[in-house]
Amino acid sequence: MNVWTVLGEFSFLALICFFLVFSLYSLIEREKKAFWRSALFVVGLASINFVFRLITLPLKAWLFGAIFILFTLFLILLFFPSLKRHSVEVSGEQKKVDERDVIFARFDLVEGTRDYEEYYKRRPELKKTDGEIRKIPDILAPSHFGKNPALFSLAQVEFDFLEHQLTQVQGEVFPERTRYSASENTRMIKSIIKYLGSDLCGVCFLDQAYVYSHVGRGPDPYGKKIVLNHEYAISFALEMDLGMVASAPGAPVIVETAKKYVEAAKISIMVASFIRRMGYSARAHIAGSNYQAMLPPLAWKGGLGELGRLGILITGTYGPRIRLGLVTTDLPLVPDSPEKLGVQDFCQKCQKCARNCPAQAIPYGDKSEENGVLKWVLNREECYRFWRKAGTDCAICVSVCPYSKPDNSFHTLIRRVSERSSFAQSLSIRADDLFYGRSLHRKKSLLDI
C-alpha cells in the first residue's frame, strides 16, 4: 500500500474515532441533537473514506495525501499554544462596595420605611427603574406558584431553611490553639471542605476591596459599618446539576440554586465552627443573606476560575454551573493564585449567553471598567426584572454557556485544548452551535413531576 494512502487512512480513522466517541458521550448525556449530528459525521467520513478506496492510483494517493496534510495542519493549529491568555484586569482603584447598593438589598427595602426613603434620597437615579421593577411580582411570589406549585414550594422551603442559618455564621473561639503549619492547615481545610461536599476549593488573602462597606441585608442592623479583618478567604464551589440548570428559567433551576445555597451554608458554617475550635477566628458567609464580602472576586483570587461575559465566575471544571461559598479566617493558610483558563479570550469571541439572554442584559461588545476592574458589565436591573417575570433566578446564560458541559473526559479534553489555542476556541464555539444548537434547549430535570 502506498505510504500516502496509509497516512490518509490513519487520518480518516482518527477522525471517525473522535466523532464516534463524541456520539457515544452525547448518547450518555442525552444530547439528541449532538448525538445525531456526530453520528452523521461518522457516516459521512466513513462514506468518503470508502469512495476514496475505490479510486485507483495515483489519484487515490494524492487524495489520501491531501487528507493527511490537512489533518496534520488541523492538529498543529489545534494544539499549538497560540493564545496569549489574558487574565482579569484590575485597571484602577477599587473602592469597597456598599451592600445596600446590591440589587437584592434594594428590593428588600419596603416602600414608606425610613431605610427606603433614606436610600433613594442617596441614590435618586435608581428610584424610577427600581419602582417599575417593584410592580412585577417578586421571585417566588405566590402569583408564580401556579406555574409549578410543588417546586416553587420546595424552593421556598429551602430559602426558609437558609433563613434559620443566618445567625449561625460566627461564635466563640476556643482558647487553645492547635499548632499546625500553614501548609498542613491548608491541606486539612481543603480536604474537609471537599469531604463535606464541595467540588472546588481555593484560598487567597482577604482583599479589603472585596469586603462590603455597610450591611444591606441579613440579621445585622441595616447600614452598619462592616469590619472584617480576617487575613484569609477560603472560597469553595458546588456543582449545580446540569439537568436542573437546563430547565432554565423554569422552577427546577431555583430549587437547585437554593439547594446549593443550603449545602454551601452547611459547609461554611461547619468549617468556620471547626476553625474556631482550633483556636482561630472564622466567619461563614452565607446566602439568604449574611455575606460580608463579595464571593466571585475572592473565588477568582483563590484560583477557582475567571469572570466571564455573563458576569459570574467560570470555573475550569463546571463552567458557570456552580454556587459559591466562603469562610474568612485568621487561621494561617497558604494562598493560591488566580488561574489563567483562557476564559477572557473565549468570551471575547463567544456571545452565546448575550444572544440567548431574554433580557438582553449581557453586553455583546468589549469589556468596560467598573470599580477599577475591566469586565463585561451586566445590566443587573434588566436581568433582575426578568427574574421577577420568570419567578425564578433564570440561569439561561449559565445553561447555554459552552463551559457548562458535564465534567467528563471528553469535555475536559475540549476545555484543556481551548485554554491554549485561539483556533481551538473559535472551533469549539462554532462546534457548540452546530452540535448543541445556537439557542437554549431544555432537558428533562430530576424533578420533572
Residues that bind ligand SF4 (CB under 6 A): 308-310, 346-347, 350-353, 357-359, 361-362, 378, 383, 386, 394-397, 400-403
Cβ nearer to ligand SF4, comparing 267 with 414: 414
Judged by CB, which is closer to ligand SF4: 113, or 368?
A: 368
- The minimum distance between CB 253 and ligand SF4, in angstroms, equals 9
Identify which of residues 65 and 342 has a Cβ nearer to ligand SF4 in the complex. 342
**Shortest Å distance, C-beta 384 to ligand SF4:** 8
- Cα–Cα nearest to 345, from 403, 421, 417, 396: 421
If the CB atoms of residues 45 and 343 are measured against ligand SF4, the closer one turns out to be 343
* Cβ at position 338, least distance to ligand SF4 in Å: 17
Judge if the upstream peptide bond of residue 58 is cis by omega within 30 degrees of 0.
Answer: yes
**Across the chain, which distance is largest between two alpha carbons, in Å?**
88
Nearer to ligand SF4, 327 or 362 (CB): 362
Shortest separation between residue 362's beta carbon and ligand SF4, angstroms:
5
List residues bridging with 322 in a β-sheet. 239
Contacts 24+ apart (CB under 8 A), 90-95: 90/372, 90/373, 90/374, 91/369, 91/372, 91/373, 91/374, 92/369, 92/372, 93/372, 94/209, 94/371, 94/372, 94/373, 95/209, 95/371, 95/372
Residue 350 to residue 142: CA distance in whole angstroms? 37
Nearest distance in Å: CB 428, ligand SF4: 9
CB 331 within 8 A of CB 173: no
Measured at the CA of 158, the angle between CA 294 and CA 213, to 5 degrees, comes to 20
Minimum CB distance to ligand SF4, residue 71 (Å): 27
Q: Minimum distance between the CB of residue 438 and ligand SF4, rounded to whole angstroms?
A: 11
Q: Least distance to ligand SF4 from the beta carbon of 167, Å?
A: 30
What cell numbers appear for 114 in the block? Answer: 425610613
Q: Which residue number, 53 or 441, has a Cβ lying nearer to ligand SF4?
A: 441
Pick between residue 216 and residue 402 the one whose CB is nearest to ligand SF4. 402
CB 230, CB 330: distance < 8 Å? yes
Backbone angles phi, psi at 89, to 5 degrees: -105, 120
* Comparison of 332 and 437: residue with beta carbon closer to ligand SF4: 437
